[in-house]
Amino acid sequence: MCEINSQAILSSNYTKMFNDLHHHRIFYQTKALNGLYFSIFIMNLAESMISIFVPIYLYTHGYSLAHVILFFLISNIASVLGAIPAAHLVTKIGPRLAILFSTPFLILYYFGLPIITSFPILFFLLPIILAGRVLLYNFGFDLNFIAHADRQNLGSELSYIAIVGMAAGIAAPFLAGFIILFFTYQTLFLIGSFLLVLSVIPLFFSSSPNQNVSFKSKKVFQLAQTKTIFPVLLSFGGYAIESSIGRIVWPIFLIIIVGTTNKVGSIVTVSALLTVFVIAVVGKLTDRLKPSHLLQWGTALYFLGWLGSVLATTTATVFLADSYRKIIERFILLPWSASFYRLTLNSVYFESVVLRDMVFNGSRVLVLPFLMMVSVFSSHPYAIMFIIASFGTLFYPLIIRRQVLA
């Protein structure tokens, strides 16, 4: 991946993001990127309605915290084993078809969840189906984005994606909570599946250049053995551990504290609104900060956010913890993601994407069994897991220690 001045990654990104959206400059990008933005919006709308409620659904239908973690561990194992075959497939069919073919996997996943207690074998099959969706979608998305991204405005384009994702995620959890309250989980999964089908359509409204993407699995392993890449791999691993606790354990903790799905949805929605508002207000401050400084200071604040979550024992304190972490997370993930994509713009960028996902899932395969043991044998499992997540955040800044993938 070619080395580009990392100090320019976030230059005016947040200010530009809101100004550009206000002046509709987002729609003067290429048709391919516009299609990608619309697809991301609809997809995030669907997944924001569902994803946070999947651990809650399993937990409230009789599965222990350890079983819920095991469910996602199976998916991570399947993702590690399937990464190389999936990468070869994506290079043959192209990124848009990869995203298209990933959708039936997720629909099967959502249709299987409501009957998982009636057919116990689905507990082991659905995570594998989910892995198929994640691999095809992630590889297809990254190839599609990198192929059409403007390398001179990469940070701004990532900002657009971030704000589109947040816009879709604001109302979705709130609506999902009320759908579950007044209807059923089955209704929620049906609506989500329909939206996922719609999310693929915008990708096919624009022409796409032929992408002769080469992929050699041996390059993935050669890249992994590069001595100077170790800090970046640690950064990937830290993200994987922290995000897993945030996506699997935190939703279950929310339902235990607040009691109902509609309250969980309300907390997540208000947190998302507050996140957008704060970013809009303090966006100009980021103009004066280098990405390295933003990551370092943001990491310290994010670390404290997870530690503070240990003290959350009421609806009000859970809301404060959730909102605080979401705000800080946005200031970390944008420069963190931009740093990765800056590193991937060369002849081995797809191998780098595959390696990143393998490290993500491999790290989870190593850590989730330990979290299962904590959930079984510890009298304070959530506190211990939040502390583990806090230490996982400390690895984020390592991605900018060295530009090693060139």
Residues ≥6 apart with Cβ < 8 Å to 87: 139, 215, 217, 350, 354
Tracing tokens 């830290």 back to the chain, one arrives at 238
pLDDT for the residue 289: 60
Q: DSSP 3-state helix, strand, coil percentages of the chain (rounded to 5)?
A: 85, 0, 15
pLDDT at 140: 85
Alpha-carbon span 41 to 50, nearest angstrom: 14
- Interhelix angle 291-309/315-343, rounded to 10 degrees, is 150
How much is the pTM? 0.80
DSSP 205: S
Asked whether residue 297 is assigned to any structural domain, the reply reads yes
Q: Does 385 map to a domain?
A: yes
Task: With respect to residue 1, please indicate whether it lies within any of the assigned structural domains.
Answer: no
Kindly give the confidence (pLDDT) of every residue in the chain, 406 residues in length, as a single tens digit, with 9 standing for 90 and above: 333 333 333 333 333 433 443 444 444 455 555 666 666 677 767 776 777 788 988 998 899 999 999 999 999 999 999 999 999 999 888 888 888 888 889 889 988 998 999 999 999 999 999 999 999 988 987 777 666 555 555 455 555 565 666 666 666 666 777 777 677 777 877 887 777 777 777 766 655 544 557 788 888 888 888 877 888 899 999 999 999 999 999 999 988 888 766 667 666 666 666 666 665 554 445 445 666 777 788 889 899 999 999 998 888 888 888 888 887 887 787 778 767 766 655 556 788 889 999 999 999 999 999 999 999 999 999 999 999 999 999 999 888 755 444 4
Number of domains in the chain: 1
Domain contains 249 = yes
Residue of 273, 185, 245 whose CA lies nearest to 390 = 245
Residue 264 maps to which CATH number? 1.20.1250.20
Lookup: tokens for 137:
């979608």
Measured distance CA(77)–CA(128) in Å, rounded: 9
Range of the domain at 375: 6-206+216-400
Give me the pLDDT at residue 118, please. Answer: 92
- How far apart CA 391 and CA 406 sit, in angstroms, is 29
The C-alpha atoms of residue 55 and residue 57 are separated, in whole angstroms, by 5
Query: How far apart are alpha carbons 90 and 143 in whole angstroms?
Result: 9
Domain-located, residue 211: no
Q: What is the pLDDT of residue 212?
A: 59
Distances (CA, A) of 405 to 212, 213, 249: 21, 18, 33
- Asked if the structure places residue 350 within a domain, the reply is yes
* Tokens encoding 88: 């070869």
Query: What pLDDT shows up at residue 362?
Result: 96
Q: What pLDDT is recorded for position 110?
A: 86
Is position 159 within any domain?
yes
Dist CA 97 CA 89 (whole Å): 10
Q: What is the pLDDT of residue 81?
A: 96
Q: Is residue 405 part of a domain?
A: no
> What is the sign, positive or negative, of the torsion defined by CA atoms of 213, 233, 301, 174?
positive
- Estimate the crossing angle of helix 315-343 against helix 154-182, to 10 degrees: 150
Q: Is 259 left (phi over 0), alpha (psi -120 to 50) or beta?
A: left
- 7 C-beta neighbours (distance < 10 Å), count: 13
What's the chain's Rg over C-alpha atoms? Answer: 20
